[in-house]
């Protein structure tokens, strides 16, 4: 396990803060931050939490900082069937189901699928993805990804940036880093040259049978997360980028089950 001083330096560097800037954010002296990073001083439990808050460190990594400083972790993993997590899961499913006839999907920090609504199933099951599978397996399979998404070079480049940003913000996530590196070797992604367009959003052109669906998406996450089980969970909501795609999704919904958790 890395020492507290190492973790503190790493997080400060990832947040691109100077020692004086961090000291200002945490309302401590820059000298004290310097002493903590050089291990010439040991932090109190409250100081660990104060610095972690100033650095916006995710809950699991705050536990690591506490353990490295000799303190017990404070952020726990609740049981999946606990009342609290059941309520959160119900809320997520409600969002997904109410988003129909547009696709919606929820996934965890490692991009493992937790739930899909019926339209999302129609999109992703055709390439063999369902609940419990990893979206990273699609991202790192150039043939499969190009089969599902017509403009994979553009979308793949965007996803690659997303993976790196998420890993960086979480202090490093090896699974996401490996996936981003593999995607960098995909010639379709590597060969894509970004161009300035008039489009306000990047749209993926998804294929469902004979249909071509231009879709853009929005990401949702739960705020105030105190439980490790929820840390990094995201919900991605897809929207039609054209009126034609909207009509096709509404037509597709007529042949799909109402609920697809």
* Cα-only R_g, the chain: 21
* Whole-number pLDDT of residue 84: 67
199 lies in the same domain as 243: yes
Instruction: Evaluate whether residue 261 is within a structural domain.
Output: no
27 lies in the same domain as 108: no
59 lies in the same domain as 101: no
Instruction: Evaluate whether residue 90 is within a structural domain.
Output: yes
Q: pTM, whole model, 2 decimals?
A: 0.74
Residue-level pLDDT, tens digit, the chain, 261 residues: 789 999 999 999 988 899 999 999 999 999 999 999 999 999 999 999 999 999 988 877 888 899 999 998 887 655 555 666 778 888 889 999 999 999 999 999 899 999 999 999 989 988 999 999 999 999 999 999 999 999 999 999 999 999 999 898 887 888 999 999 999 999 999 888 776 555 566 899 998 888 899 999 999 987 665 555 666 789 999 999 999 999 999 988 888 766 444
* Whole-number pLDDT of residue 56: 87
90 lies in the same domain as 196: yes
216 lies in the same domain as 105: yes
DSSP assigned state of 40: S
* Whole-number pLDDT of residue 261: 47
For residues 260 and 233, the answer to whether their CB atoms sit within 8 Å is no
Domain final residue pick, 37, 68, 99: 68
Domain final residue pick, 39, 68, 97: 68
The enclosing domain of 60 has a CATH number of 1.10.260.40
Residue 104's nearest CA partner among 89, 91, 123 is 123
* Whole-number pLDDT of residue 82: 61
116 lies in the same domain as 12: no
* Whole-number pLDDT of residue 40: 93
Owning domain of residue 31: 4-68
Tally of domains within the chain: 2
88 lies in the same domain as 193: yes
127 lies in the same domain as 244: yes
228-254 exposure pattern, b = at least 16 Cβ within 10 A, e = fewer: bbbbbbbbbbbbbbeeebeebbeebbe
Instruction: Evaluate whether residue 78 is within a structural domain.
Output: no
46 lies in the same domain as 101: no
* Whole-number pLDDT of residue 197: 57
33 lies in the same domain as 113: no
Across the chain, the runs of DSSP E, i.e. the strands, are 104-107, 113-116, 204-208, 211-220, 234-240
Instruction: Evaluate whether residue 258 is within a structural domain.
Output: no
Instruction: Evaluate whether residue 260 is within a structural domain.
Output: no
């Amino acid at each position: 396990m890395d020492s507290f001083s190492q973790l503190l330096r790493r997080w400060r560097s990832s947040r691109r803060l100077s020692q004086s800037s961090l000291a200002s954010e945490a309302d401590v002296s820059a000298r004290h931050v310097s002493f903590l990073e050089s291990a010439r001083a040991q932090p109190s439990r409250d100081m660990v939490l104060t610095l972690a808050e100033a650095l916006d460190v995710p809950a699991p990594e705050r536990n690591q900082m506490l353990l490295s400083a000799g303190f017990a972790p404070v952020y726990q993993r609740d049981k999946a069937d606990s009342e609290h997590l059941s309520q959160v899961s119900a809320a997520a499913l409600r969002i997904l189901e109410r988003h129909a006839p547009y696709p919606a999907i929820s996934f965890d920090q490692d991009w493992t699928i937790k739930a899909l609504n019926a339209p999302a199933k129609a999109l992703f099951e055709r390439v063999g993805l369902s609940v419990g599978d990893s979206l990273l397996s699609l991202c790192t399979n150039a043939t499969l990804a190009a089969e599902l998404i017509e403009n994979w070079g553009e979308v793949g480049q965007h996803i690659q940036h997303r993976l790196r940003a998420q890993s960086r913000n979480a202090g490093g996530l090896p699974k996401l880093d490996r996936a981003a590196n593999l995607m960098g070797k995909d010639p379709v992604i590597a060969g894509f040259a970004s161009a300035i367009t008039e489009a306000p959003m990047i749209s993926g052109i998804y294929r469902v049978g004979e249909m071509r669906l231009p879709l853009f998406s929005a990401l949702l996450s739960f705020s105030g997360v105190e439980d490790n089980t929820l840390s990094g969970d995201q919900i991605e909501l897809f929207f039609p980028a054209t009126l034609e795609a909207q009509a096709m999704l509404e037509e597709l919904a007529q042949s799909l089950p109402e609920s697809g958790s």
